[in-house]
Structure 1
């Protein structure tokens, strides 16, 4: 799996580039296919970030990431 820096992940925010990616526990996922991530925003969360710490406040579990394609690792 390709390794990306936090800076490279930050560019995949749905604004600077068409990709909409987020990281969770060191794995980067493409969430662009989700209507809930339209324009790179999901409620108060923005794409292009590591959301590991944010999950504790989410109404869902980490299983939500199973529906998305893992495309890389966060450096």
Structure 2
């Protein structure tokens, strides 16, 4: 699996490039096909970020990421 930096992830925000990616626990997921991430925004969250610290406040569990393809690893 390819490795990406936080800067590379930040460009996949649905604005700068057509890809809409988010990271969770070191994995990067492509959420481009999700209607809930249209234009790179999901409620108060923005794509191109690591959402690991945001998940405890979400109304869903981490199982939501099972619906998406993990396409890379996030470098620390």
Alpha-carbon distance in 2 for matches of 1:43, 1:32:
15
2:59 equivalent in structure 1: 59
Q: CA deviation at 1:12?
A: 0.1
For 1:50, what is the secondary structure of its paired residue? coil
More helix by share: 1
**Under a length normalisation based on structure 1, what TM-score does the superposition of the two structures give?**
1.00
1:12 equivalent in structure 2: 12
2:45 equivalent in structure 1: 45
**Under a length normalisation based on structure 2, what TM-score does the superposition of the two structures give?**
0.98
Work out the number of aligned pairs and report it.
75
Measured on the aligned residues, the alpha-carbon RMSD in Å equals 0.2
Q: CA deviation at 1:6?
A: 0.1
